[in-house]
Structure 1
């Protein structure tokens, strides 16, 4: 990225705390190419931000401190390995300041659920610390830091809908012509994203194919899915949903098959494992249908609509 930008002039009034709301995402298309020499996979990843939010609050502190609240936060690391902490450190290093901040994360996005909760928290921490420290970093600079932190972090910053290529970090905004209604069925415990990708590679080899990028086509967006988003057509979107990681996620967590069947039996237009799972996303015809399905599912479930804005200071 180049040399550090240098110390930040402190011309702004001190800020006591900044809270940023960040959305979850669902992958309405996740086409996985072969494994590259760097270990990553080329993707055609159509992201849709949904109205299920974490809140990241940055406040002055001596040193870097993390706290978290919400369900399942036992799975949230409260040290320097947390992606939000890494985001704060990266921003401070870029601008030649100390990462003195208390980050408090209020979780509603499932932990390790395939909905980019950790990535959302990283994007929220960047925006919150930028405001707290009076940096005023250009949006392009924040997006570049997001891409360094992880493949899903840039989309958590921008929200809406977008096609992510490369590792998913190279974003092109997509038009959304209406509101889509979802139910997210939450599983107990998470799934490791690297483990799901390894299982996807193993399944390809076991089926007599290759898992190498040189042997597989470069993933592209599905024109029918992009058209369904632009038209706001839920039926067409449901017919076009796809996730190349779904078989791997279900193989690692066989109970997901029953959840998928229950949602379809309950009237969902379509169901899909969200990203690397284990959260299952059901697309519904209306907000009332989503509420009814959420109440009927045998597992913990939340209705939410899309698209949603990206990281937003409150």
Structure 2
């Protein structure tokens, strides 16, 4: 009997280096412009192909992620089977390390990893339209995570630009252990349907920028959800202050709707030293030094 091949995939954290809220559409959704990058840290997913879907979890944040039908791995599996009747599913096992409701797309990354594994198990191409239809059905941030490369994400997350080659970005990620609901942050932002913020357009990001040019350009961007999130979770302001004060920090900003924040450094040594110091000073925080791409 031939052994059934198992499949595995990383589900890297998604970092919004910028997040411009252009305005609120008449249908209630918000139009965004975001430069997205992916970290070297994340969750890990395996698939043992079978006739029936199953999901098991382990890891430090497994309880918060839940293993029921609302887990995004389950949602992605249902969405792709709806697009591809007869698709073979199987038993997923998720090692959950990323904080939940943290602004770094942990659930979306898991869903995208599930779609990649299902594509591999069923000989589907990653550019199969059904894969992206399923990604959109699973969640707004899932499409950009299907191929985890830096790129611009616009609209409600459904329009993706080409991959962007970033300079080496050594980063420290910090989550203070406070969950922030994206819907609550948008509500606090207070835009009515048809209303725009009017804060200005997104700076153009070119592939292959050197570090200094990239940093000057990135600083002209912003996260329009940061102020609202800080009102809902004031500890975010403290995290940003701690990151900004780290030696060698070139930029500190919130990712997504929070509460995870990041700081960018020019060298791995500075990022590692900052992560160690912050972990020692705040052992209750989730702190990771990583490379963004």
Report the TM-score, using the length of structure 1 for normalisation. 0.83
Matched, 1:230 2:218: no
Q: 1:115 to 1:103 in 2, by over 3 A?
A: same
CA deviation map 1:148-181 (0-9, x unaligned): 3222111111222111111022000253242101
Q: 1:174 to 1:237 in 2, by over 3 A?
A: farther
Query: Residue 42 of structure 1 contacts residue 213 of structure 1 at CA under 8 Å; is this kept in 2?
Result: no
Structure 2 equivalent of residue 240 of structure 1: 220
> Higher RCO, 1 or 2 (CA under 8 Å, sep at least 6)?
1
From 123, 134, 147, the equivalent of 2:136 is: 147
CA deviation map 1:39-90 (0-9, x unaligned): 2100111111121122111113453221112212211121111111111112
From 4, 13, 26, the equivalent of 1:24 is: 13
Matched, 1:270 2:251: yes
- d(CA) in 1 for partners of 2:3 and 2:133? 26
CA deviation map 1:204-254 (0-9, x unaligned): xxxxxx53335555974312xx15973333642552341000011111111
Query: Residue 46 of structure 1 contacts residue 221 of structure 1 at CA under 8 Å; is this kept in 2?
Result: no
1:66 match: secondary structure: strand
Which runs of 5 or more structure 1 residues have no equivalent in the other structure? 1-12, 202-209, 308-314
The farther-off stretch of 267-276 and 15-24 is 15-24
- d(CA) in 1 for partners of 2:151 and 2:128? 16
What is the aligned length? 284
Matched, 1:306 2:276: no
Instruction: Give matches, 1:180-191, under 5 Å.
Output: 180-191=169-180
Which runs of 5 or more structure 2 residues have no equivalent in the other structure? none
1:29 match: secondary structure: coil
Q: 1:215 to 1:270 in 2, by over 3 A?
A: closer
Report the TM-score, using the length of structure 2 for normalisation. 0.88
Structure 2 equivalent of residue 51 of structure 1: 40
Q: 1:238 to 1:163 in 2, by over 3 A?
A: closer
- d(CA) in 1 for partners of 2:171 and 2:126? 33
* Alignment RMSD: 2.3
CA deviation map 1:250-300 (0-9, x unaligned): 111111111111111122211111101111111112111000010111233
Matched, 1:168 2:147: no
State the 1:183 CA deviation: 0.2
Structure 2 equivalent of residue 5 of structure 1: none
- d(CA) in 1 for partners of 2:8 and 2:286? 27
